[in-house]
Amino acid sequence: MGKSLLIVESPAKARTIKKYLGKGFEVKASIGHVKDLPKKELGIDISADGEFAPHYVTIRGKGKVISELKKAAKTADAVYLAPDPDREGEAIAWHIARELGRREGVYRVLFHEITPQAIKEALKSPLAIDENRVNAQQSRRILDRLVGYKISPLLWKTVRRGLSAGRVQSVAVRLVCDREAEIKAFKPEEYWHIDAMLSGPQPPVFPARLHAIKGKKAVVGNQQQADGIVKELSTASFTVSKCEQKKRKRNPLPPFITSKLQQEASRKLNFSAKKTMMVAQQLYEGVELGASGPTGLITYMRTDSVRVSDAALKDCRDYIKGRFGSEYLPARAIHYKNKNSAQDAHEAIRPTSMEFDPDQVAGFLTADQLKLYQLIWNRFVASQMAPAEYFQTVVDIKAGEHYRFRAVGRRQIFAGFLALYEVGKDNGNGSNGKEEDRELPPLAVGDQLTLEKLEPSQHFTQPPPRFTESTLVKELEEKGIGRPSTYATILSTIQDREYVELREKKFYPTDLGVLVTELLKKSFPDILDVSFTAQMENTLDQVEEGKYDWQQLLKNFYQPFEERLAAAVATMKEVRQQEEETDEICEKCGARMVIKWGRNGKFLACPNYPECKNTRNLTSREMPADPELSPEEIEQLGKCPQCGSSLTVKNGRFGRFIACSRYPECKYTRSIGTGIGCPVEGCDGEIVEKKSRKGKIFYSCSRYPDCQYALWNKPYPMTCPDCGHPFLVEKVSKSRGHYLQCPRKECSYSADLPEKE
């Protein structure tokens, strides 16, 4: 009997599977797609009757791969095509099958986890290539090409060359722009809380908040109202009017789907969506586990299904019973319900085997792999554990004739799944979001309470928060924009195109992003419409299920799109030719300067160009001094060495910098130094603060590019007592908070960060 050929996408997966299959199989990798639409032309023939025929070409560099696959297939009795079990994987298998040119002995196999059992089971039941899934992928690819190839030249003409539009990415940029517009338009409203510190028959003293006034929800809008209520309550009697005690349960969450994994890895691990998927891919394809060789540790990481196999549930329940005890194990396995749109072919993201406890495999994983694997492991195990149980007390307190306060206490009586896992919160500080219990003293209806203190506090309503990676993925998921396999690419693409930037873990639209969004909203309202894009995703799902013809989908999209395109060509204004006059005076010729658009966004320019070529950075001129610096710190900056005026801190395209306060009369600037010398031998530079293209602060030598020393963590002026390195760096972790550490990898010295006086 001859050998069989099995073709997967990645070399890492090929190595893992080869170990399981042995000598009877040759395993090769396609290294992703082998064919695609051409880069420099539309690559789609549209017939007179509206049929769409994509023209695929071999991707540059993949000719050799195809030749090797063809050569191996000629001598194989059977060829098994095993790219990833999704639309892209199906398209890869389809292209490879067509290149091989074999009519017989070519099969499609699907692996949802890289384990010996899963692979052998798949090979026992080979399938035909799913034409519906291929057509869904072709539809998406053609739609994206039509939008990108047809709209991008318009942006080149009206704004600048090199810009591009994306069918889904442009909607994601719109979400960020719309949120920013909401924040700018938001008008805060004042409100007050009134808290009472009360003592009852038994300690401790406990807080209660004003809950109702004359039987209606308490609304206190200003200080005058608050002061009046405080004055009235200062002599009132406080009596317990209602006391309810209930036992409550909190159920665990399902195991991870792709979007939830990206959100939680962002909250808890500070991973970008792109990094999360990259590390998850490594865990899925196989990690070297010593003598065991390459081993797949998790199931397929692109899924929107929470289904788990019966065998995996049994193994998980056995693990829980053995580690935590019977009281942590529900009477039956928990089965979670999928959303209607979920593709149930895949399982949820889970460990492939309960034998691979994170503690046991930790020595074989990188730090990032271990963090993500631990997160997936804990979430999966917790999903099958008993609920957490609480004893909750709600006490209503009558105060005077018209007021009612409320106090809520909670005491955990059984940890349940919380013994292992607590979901993170989108609070922007990396907290794990764990809720604290608060005990109330024993109270009964009729108890007279003593007022210890009244505490009025002023508050203002807050605008909606800017999106983080976690919350933007959540928003895309909830609105039906994109699918699990696309979220990471969407977030990465909109940053690479400089339509948004990530600052302090929050998305801000750039001037370019706002401009392009406004232009597309006017000329292509459907393309930028959230509900339209979501409906298109649903229709693509129907194509995959064989319920909708893919050519009809393209026809329905293209006719109105072509009409919009023709209108846009005639009506879209050329932004780069538009000028906005300002009150700024050109110091060279005295003309009023104008705002123009350039490659890097808005800038000030003299209108008398080319006779006068004076330009000025608009961004740095508009930005105020850094609000984090105190007046004393600003004074410490000293005087301008050129004109003697005060120096100030401004924000520019590449981060904060020090500038003369008399700008533009005096154009002195310098980087913000740390006062710490560059550690490179023979270099007399200073470590200064800078900002990367993606908005992240880093520190590098002031003599760049002559000296290329750089680091991400802020240097601290203290010599390492262990190795003598001239400075330490500031770091932060959830368990330790802020601390100092030696930047030399060979040195393990660390210490607590001294408190500021």
Class of domain 4-129: alpha beta
Is 197's pLDDT higher than 70?
A: yes
User: What confidence score (pLDDT) does residue 750 get?
Assistant: 85
Name the fold adopted by 138-185+465-571: Topoisomerase I; domain 2 (1.10.460)
Q: In terms of pLDDT, which residue wins out, 89 or 667?
A: 89
Give the pLDDT score at 620: 38
Q: What is the mean pLDDT of residues 608-636?
A: 58
- Taking only Cα atoms into account, the Rg of the chain, rounded to an integer number of angstroms, comes to 31
* CA 267 – CA 271 distance, rounded (Å): 8
pTM, full prediction: 0.76
Element (H, E) at 13: helix 11-21
Q: What is the mean pLDDT of residues 223-240?
A: 95
What's the mean pLDDT in 361-375? 96
Would the pLDDT of 526 be above 70?
yes
Q: Per DSSP, what are the bridge partners of residue 595?
A: 580, 604
Read off the pLDDT of residues 391-405 as tens digits, 9 standing for 90 and up.
999 999 999 999 999
Over the chain, what is the mean pLDDT?
87
Helix, strand, or coil (residue 669): strand
What is the average pLDDT across 86-112? 93
Least confident window among 276-285, 465-474, 497-506: 497-506
Query: Does the domain made of 265-386 have the CATH classification 3.10.20.30?
Result: no
Least confident of 147-151, 230-234, 416-420, 674-678: 674-678
The CATH number for 190-251+392-418+436-460, chosen from 1.10.3720.10, 3.40.50.1480, 2.70.20.10, 1.20.1260.10, is 2.70.20.10
Residues of the chain with CATH 1.10.460.10: 138-185+465-571
Domain boundaries for CATH 1.10.290.10 within the chain: 265-386
| pLDDT at residue number 694 | 59
Lowest mean pLDDT among 58-62, 217-221, 615-619, 714-718: 615-619
pLDDT band, very low/low/confident/very high, at 690 (cuts 50, 70, 90): confident
Angle, nearest 10°, between helix axes 367-383 and 258-269? 120
Which of 120-134, 249-263, 633-647 is predicted with the least confidence, judged by mean pLDDT? 633-647
Distance of alpha carbon 142 from alpha carbon 558, whole angstroms: 10
Answer whether 404's CB lies under 8 Å from 211's CB: yes
Q: With b meaning 16 or more CB within 10 Å and e meaning fewer, what string describes 374-387?
A: bbbbebbbbbbbbb
The more confident residue out of 382 and 699 is 382
Is the pLDDT reported for residue 734 higher than 60? Answer: no
pLDDT confidence of residue 373: 97
- Lookup result for tokens 């597309």: 520
Q: Is the pLDDT reported for residue 555 higher than 90?
A: yes
pLDDT at 756: 47
CA–CA separation, 751 and 354 (whole Å): 37
d(CA 595, CA 524): 26
Residue tagged 């809008």 (tokens): 221
pLDDT at 17 > cutoff 70: yes
Structure tokens at 171: 């909607």
For residue 654, the model assigns a pLDDT of 52
pLDDT of 655 > 70? The answer is no
DSSP codes, 448-516: EEEEEEEEEEEEE--PPPPP-HHHHHHHHHHHT-S-TTTHHHHHHHHHHTTSEEEETTEEEE-HHHHHH
Extract the tokens encoding 613.
Answer: 């070529």
Q: What dihedral do alpha carbons 60, 61, 65, 71 form, nearest 10°?
A: 90
Strands 669-671 and 655-660: antiparallel
493: CB partners within 8 A, 6+ apart: 166, 169
Greater pLDDT, 41 or 657: 41
**pLDDT greater than 60 at residue 388:** yes
Let me know: does 113 contact 121? Beta carbons within 8 Å: no
Q: Is 609 a catalytic residue?
A: no
- pLDDT recorded at residue 121: 92
Per annotation, catalytic residue among 107, 300, 328, 403: 300
